[in-house]
Amino acid sequence: MPRNQFSISNLKNPDADRVRLEIKKACEKFMLSDDNLMKVSKIMDDEMNRGLRGEPSCLKMLPSFIRAVPNGTERGDFLALDLGGTNFRVLLIKLKGDVAEMTGKVYRIPEEIMRGVGTA
């Protein structure tokens, strides 16, 4: 194991066994059987599909409108825009077959714009 990774088996103190047991006991509460994992997976899949169809769902979904996946032969300049919670990211991606160059800049969104009323 690399030096920078933590493992509960590496605890070196007088209470290590007790701590290890407490951690294991706490984690057991979150373990699911294979049957329950399949049920959760099915529920999530159903909810995602409902959300994508615009039906009421506990998972809000937005369609991506991606028509095809890249195959590695794409060429040209592409602009990627990402408006997140506090940042606006702008990327210029230059695809040259098997080589890609990416240049980007991140702009912080001012608080008054984030909390604005949403009118032009």
pLDDT: which is higher, 15 or 54:
54
Classify 61 as helix, strand or coil. coil
For 64-82, the pLDDT digits (tens) are 888 888 888 889 999 999 9
pLDDT at 117: 74
For residue 101, what are the β-bridge partners?
A: 94
Rounded distance between C-alpha atoms, residue 114 and residue 50, angstroms: 29
Q: Which residues of 67-103 are buried (b: 16+ CB within 10 A; e: fewer)?
A: eeeeeeeeeeeeeeeeeeeeeeeeeeeebeeeeeeee
pLDDT at 5: 53
Report domain extents, the chain.
75-114
Looking at the predicted structure, is the pLDDT value of residue 105 above 80? yes
Answer whether 0.75 is exceeded by the pTM. Answer: no
Q: What six digits make up the tokens of 34?
A: 């294979």
